[in-house]
Structure 1
Amino acid sequence: MMAVGDQGASPLRLPAFRRFLLAHLVSATGSAMAPVALAFAVIEQGGGARSLGIVLTANTVPALILLLVGGVLADRVSRSRILFLGNLVAGAAQAVVAVLVATGTATTAAMSLCACASGAAAAFTTPAAQGVVPRLVPPDRLQQANALVRVPRNAVKVVGPVAGGFVVALTGPAWALGWDAVTFVVAALLLAGLRLAGTVSAGGPGGGLRADLRIGWAGFRSRVWLWSFTLSGTAVVAAWLAGYQLLGPLVADRDYAGAGSWGLVQGAFAAGLLAGTFVCLLWKPQRLVLVAVVTSSGLFLPLAAMGSGLPLSWVLGAAVVAGAGMDVAVVAWSTVMQQQVPDEELGRLNAFNSLGEQIAIPVGYLAVAAASAYWSSGHILLVCSAVILAAGVANACVRDVHRIRRR
């Protein structure tokens, strides 16, 4: 854990935190381009909403199946080792996709298999990554550290999607996918140097997976603010990703200017994320859960703008506002989890939270893919935006959401 001399130090003065920050920056340069490249790789090989929905579902399903196992491991073994191996697997999978696309042999089935491998890796790296910051910085610097981690990632996202859109438009998606693979490998090597020790969970050394999950579930169920936010997130995340990630590129290709315009939308969303990060560096709200609920609800805005057929400038403005709100929500939520949940349970409770928020994503993708045969993309986007707004309002009415305050 933190040395006494580190208490009160700026996170940037801590070498281990700087390494973690650099790994995020390197990985972000590839990840910012990848969604644009993947969407148009599917379109390039003749696929539409159905094919893209299948690939995205293939990425999500293994992540859901293995996520709780990943949470237990994050509380039992070295989190840096998990991050190292997970990034290597994701890099290898993305490299295969890049080669398939470059050689013109990519199919929906092949890309789905690679997406499946990436999703499996994410099941282990997600809970591990969420438990790293409390090991690197003192408790009173958690929000600052959480915001700083997002500064380079969000800064790259401002340029990355725009650059990715133009790279795809000029050279095709293979180059962007290949770069993403390289950045996964470099990030893996950086994260391996953290050497974070493992934590034996409350189940005890011989408790086993089932005992650890039972203890984790009891902790999750006892926190109303946690499971109510997770339940709301089930609807919000599914509606957002189905509308934004699945229908967004298709609407941009049909109603706007294709890859270039979709890159601008993603860049505008990233600019909002960056603005939200700087808000978090300056603003320390007391009711962190309520802030996360309200600000994440702004995701309905760009979906409503696209669904209503508004000009691109309006869509860009809505994306900026939604991005700013989303980043405030992410930092607030990360901070309240790290403050309210003991370190030895953090991996499992984060896993339960992530599982709850992601469990409906495949249903959302497949439902939108099926509905696209009968409804227009605009109508589906409006439904998705309404779901996000309704879920946020309902969650804000939970009393425990208002009770939890910053420590």
Structure 2
Amino acid sequence: MPTTSGSPLRLAPFRRFLLAQIVSATGTAMAPLALAYAVIGQGGGAGSLGAVLVTNSAPTIVFVLLGGVLADRMSRSRLLFAGNALAAAAQGVVAVLVGAGYATTATVAVCGLVSGTATALRVPAAQGAVPQLVPPGQRQRANALLRLPTNAVRFVGPVAAGLLVAAGGPAWALGWDAVSFALAAVLLRGLRLPAPLAAGPPLAALRAGWRAFRDRTWLWTYTLSGTVVVAAWLAGFQLLGPLVAAARYEGARDWGLVQAALAGGLLAGTLVCLRWRPRRPLVVAIVTSAGLAVPLAALAAGLPLGCVLGATVLAGVALDIGVVTWTTAFQSHVPEDEIGRMSAFNNIGERLAIPFGYLLVALAAHLWSEGVVLCVCAGLILLATLLNLCVRDAYRITRPASSRVPGSRAATTVEAGSGG
């Protein structure tokens, strides 16, 4: 693998990986709207849709550890192929059931369970595939390029899904989602990435992975901070945001503009990361998490819509810079044969509190005004960010030299200072 700096687009395997991401992103952007209208179309309400969403997301938390262990033992390209093929099958069955008029909440939920399991297999493998495809000096640009199509289709995906659902029903959009997963599976199968060295029996490997995660102070403290930040952001923005828009602004129309502003900010953040390579990417990732508090505070204060849109754009820019710089730091300072398990522990940590965050915010909104609860959410984000900035190990995670060997234990020990 070349180690000089430059564009990862010159590497044929990375282009194949990127194309797979672009294809699957088009289907993923359409799926939520199509799934919602599929449930509504068969007579389901909020409870039915909630059950489908839970069955889709719960397996990711439950099985992501298994995905992490497998990603450190199997060929990651084969694991990505299997995950995408499984998702294609699940979404294909949903599309057929919806199109034939046989879909029920139970059948859609079962397919969601399979789809969520497929996600648990894909996420750690995708995290570990990038270091195998791209040399250290090109990883931030590679991660930004991978984010670019996902953020771009946030603009057109829901609109295209709406038109497709209106014209022919949700089965067509769900069918394209299945096809996109199948095409991505074929592209990823062609990567043929070698398997990492097996680290003993699976349970022993899991225990060893937990010790390695625990010994990296910068990693577990960032994950712990993310547990608070992600839960507070989603509960404040996704749960209370639409309610505030309905009460103080023009409802769905203005909330759609806010969502578009977030997508525009994410896209702008990706473009920034294509040019800017900070020396301390983890510190940048921590600092940018504070940007998520800005739109929550703007909504809490009841600022004019223009101010809310500007605050949301800023949050989107900060969020995407944080995602890219964190991913780059993670991939550069975790040995290649541990990335799957470390990614799994990080994913569990950041997702675990989300259901509790929704529940607590919903209960708190009955006791206090929405503005007060939004201020608490913003305050929790700022507090978690400030505490994470006090972790000394975070400042030792520096941008790797382009000649550094990916996954080098010595490099990780010297720069992270917290157990390689």
Aligned to 2:8: 11
Structure 2 Cα separation of the partners of residues 318 and 108 of structure 1: 38
Report if the CA contact (8 A) 1:165-1:263 is conserved: no
**What residue in structure 2 maps to residue 95 of structure 1?**
92
1:128 matches 2:146: no
| Secondary structure of 2:72 counterpart | helix
Query: Within 2, Cα distance between the matches of 1:114 and 1:253?
Result: 33
Q: Which residues of structure 1 form unaligned runs of 5+?
A: none
Q: Is the 8 A contact 1:166 1:259 kept in 2?
A: no
Q: Distance in 1 between matches of 2:86 and 2:368?
A: 38
Over aligned residue pairs, what C-alpha RMSD do you find?
3.0
2:176 alignment partner AA:
W
Contact 1:30 1:181 in 2 (8 A): yes
Residue 194, structure 1, aligned to residue 194, structure 2: no
Structure-to-structure mapping, 1:109-258, within 5 angstroms = 109-164=106-161, 173-201=170-198, 203=199, 207-246=200-239, 248=241
Match status 1:319 vs 2:312: yes
**Which of 55, 58, 61 is the matching residue for 2:58?**
61
The 3 A distance-change label for structure 1 pair 374 and 308 is same
Aligned equivalent of 2:405: none
The alignment status of 1:388 with 2:381, answered yes or no, reads yes
Q: What is the distance in 2 between the residues matched to 1:255 and 1:169?
A: 29
Aligned residues: 399
**Counterparts of 1:313 and 1:32 in 2: how far apart (Å)?**
26
Mean Cα displacement is larger for which, 147-156 or 282-291?
147-156
1-structure distance, mates of 2:106, 2:369? 26
Contiguous gaps of at least 5 residues in structure 2: 401-420
Letter of the 1:354 partner, please give it: N
TM-score (norm 1): 0.86
Give the Cα–Cα distance (whole angstroms) in 2 for the partners of residues 294 and 114 of structure 1.
Answer: 39
Relative to structure 1, is the Cα distance of residues 32 and 364 closer, same or farther in structure 2, using a 3 angstrom cutoff? same
Measure the CA separation in 1 of the matches of 2:378 and 2:179.
35
How far apart are the structure 2 equivalents of 1:239 and 1:20? 33
Other structure's SS at 2:188 match = helix
1:22 paired to 2:15:
no
Q: Which residue of 2 aligns with 1:278?
A: 271
Instruction: Find the aligned partners of 1:248 and 1:169 in 2 and give their Cα distance.
Output: 26
Identify which range, 211-220 or 144-153, moves more after superposition.
144-153
1:369 is displaced (CA, Å) by 5.5
State whether residues 44 and 105 of structure 2, in contact with CA within 8 Å, keep that contact through their aligned partners in structure 1.
no
Q: 1:297 to 1:35 in 2, by over 3 A?
A: farther
Aligned match of 2:337: 344
Q: Tell me how far 1:74 sits from its aligned partner.
A: 0.5
Which residue identity lines up with residue 378 of structure 2 in the other structure?
Answer: S
Question: For 1:313 and 1:98, how far apart are their aligned partners in 2?
Answer: 40
Q: Please give the per-residue CA displacement for 1:185-241, whole angstroms capped at 9, x wherever unaligned.
A: 21111111111111123x2xxx21111112111111111110000001111222333
SS in 2 for 1:33: helix
Given that 2:143 and 2:327 are in contact with CA atoms closer than 8 Å, whether structure 1 keeps it comes out as yes
Give the superposition deviation at 1:307: 5.0
CA gap of 1:185–1:100, structure 2 versus 1, over 3 A, is: same
Distance verdict in 2 for CA 1:196–1:391, change over 3 Å: same
Q: Deviations over 1:14-35 (max 9, x none)?
A: 1111011111111111222333
- Partner Cα separation in structure 2 for residue 253 and residue 80 of structure 1: 45
Could you tell me whether the CA contact under 8 Å between 1:53 and 1:369 is conserved in 2? no
Q: Percent identity?
A: 60
Give the AA of the match of 1:62: P
Task: Kindly state the Cα deviation for residue 321 of structure 1 after the two structures are TM-superposed.
Answer: 1.4
TM-score by length of 2: 0.84
CA, structure 1 residues 403+71, in 2 after alignment: closer, same or farther (shift >3 Å)? same
The one-letter code of the counterpart of 1:92 is: A
SS of aligned partner of 1:198 = coil
Report deviation, 1:60: 2.3
Offset at residue 345 of structure 1 (A) = 0.9
Residue range with higher mean Cα deviation, 63-72 or 37-46: 37-46
| Aligned residue type for 2:202 | L
Question: 1:180 and 1:274 mapped to 2: Cα distance?
Answer: 22
Letter in 2 for 1:403: R
Equivalent residue letter for 1:398: V
Moved more, 288-297 or 156-165: 156-165
Q: Which residue of 1 aligns with 2:328?
A: 335
CA distance 1:381–1:174, shift in 2 (3 Å): farther
Q: Is the 8 A contact 2:283 2:389 kept in 1?
A: yes
> 1:275 Cα shift?
0.9
Q: Which residue of 1 aligns with 2:45?
A: 47
- Specify whether residues 186 and 353 from structure 1 end up closer, same or farther in structure 2 by C-alpha distance, changes over 3 A only: same
Question: How far apart, in 1, do the equivalents of 2:117 and 2:281 lie?
Answer: 31
Equivalence for 1:72? 69
Partner of 1:32 in structure 2? 29
